[in-house]
Amino acid sequence: MSEWYYLNGNLYPSHREAVLPQNRGLLYGDGLFETIRVYRGKPFLLNLHLERMLQGAEILELNLWAEKKELEDAVMQVIKANNLTGGWLRITLTRGTGAKGLWPSNNPEMEATTMITAGHGAPYSQEQYRQGFRAALVSFPRNENSPVVKLKSLNFLENILGRREAQKKGANEGLFVNQKGNLTEGTVSNLFATCGSKLFTPPPEDGLLAGITRNLVIELAKNQGLEVIEESFTPYFLLRSDEAFLTNSLVEIISLVEVDDIPIGNGKPGELSLKLHHSYQDYTEKGI
């Protein structure tokens, strides 16, 4: 982590812990987060990340003390204090501190905790992109009806357990299958598969976080003349596809070359995935 972090209006040195033991983010995972890439000192697609976070805060009925403009300012303060040119930011929002009971309706004054941490450098290596990712199917089903899977919430235990299973099998990412037997997403990523010039990705109703990278990739693919189809698909379909890839804000786009030790296509990063990754990187150059 970098040198400085932000907490409720102030910057603190990273070695100083300031979140109180009664914080509901810590006690119950009662909150949200966003992870954002920083390119050349600018937070990429910050507005979309903040909008998603504020929508989530409304659904969870968090009592925010910071408006969007204040959050934007806070992000810029963290970038400046850490001299961040290339790297990442994480905004964590919790329901706050205090109030006994699972639903703290007796304490409407409780204010959300806002924390922003940062790190320098690219999160993934060139070697990882050259090799692509291997995935393993997670053994327990994703509940597509759960409200939690649609939010970027602090309730990450299913994802952690899914990732643990994948790593124990020597894979880089775990893929969730929902109760209907359809693939949904990775533990920290969205999933795409290609067949010729058609690009398939599971629809949000299948139980997933509609990633900001996912949405941008859909736009970029359409601009390149690909037909994008948001439709349910099974692990069998994925294994029969020409190419597959995973997306999230940190990794951008990374090829998926294998699932449960079975290669996808020729088992190497595919041309279309690499081409889309190049156009994604061109887009980041615009510094939006």
Q: Which is nearer to ligand PLP, 172 or 190 (CB)?
A: 190
Total residues at interface with ligand PLP (CB under 6 A): 14
CB 22 → ligand PLP: shortest distance, Å? 27
Q: Which residues contact 74 (CB under 8 A, 6 or more apart)?
A: 6, 9, 66, 114, 116
Contact flags string 22-51 toward ligand PLP, x per CB under 6 A: -------------x----------------
Q: Which amino acid is at 78?
A: V
> Least distance from C-beta 35 to ligand PLP, angstroms?
6
Among 92, 117, 189, 273, binds ligand PLP (CB under 6 A): 189
Instruction: For the segment 125-164, give every residue that binds ligand PLP (CB under 6 A).
Output: 159
The residues, ordered by sequence, that sit 6+ positions from 95 with a Cβ below 8 Å of its Cβ are 24, 25, 30, 31, 60, 62, 63, 104, 110, 112, 113
Tell whether residue 209 is a contact of ligand PLP (CB under 6 A).
yes
Which amino acid is present at 37? R
Q: Which one, 11 or 48, has the nearer CB to ligand PLP?
A: 48
Q: Which two tokens stand for residue 72?
A: 């934007």
Binding segment toward ligand PLP, per CB under 6 A, in 2-10, 63-71, 197-205, 242-250: 242-250
212 counts as binding ligand PLP under rule CB under 6 A: yes
Q: How far apart are CB 23 and ligand PLP at their closest, in Å?
A: 21
Closer residue to ligand PLP (CB): 35 or 167: 35
Whose tokens are 């089903």? That residue is: 141
184: contact with ligand PLP by CB under 6 A: no
Instruction: Please tell me whether residue 232 binds ligand PLP under the rule CB under 6 A.
Output: no
Binding ligand PLP (rule: CB under 6 A), the pick from 249, 252, 258, 259 is 249
Asked if 211 touches ligand PLP (CB under 6 A), the answer is yes
248 binds ligand PLP per the rule CB under 6 A: yes
188 is a site residue for ligand PLP (CB under 6 A)? yes
Interface residues toward ligand PLP, by CB under 6 A = 35, 159, 185, 188-190, 209, 211-214, 247-249
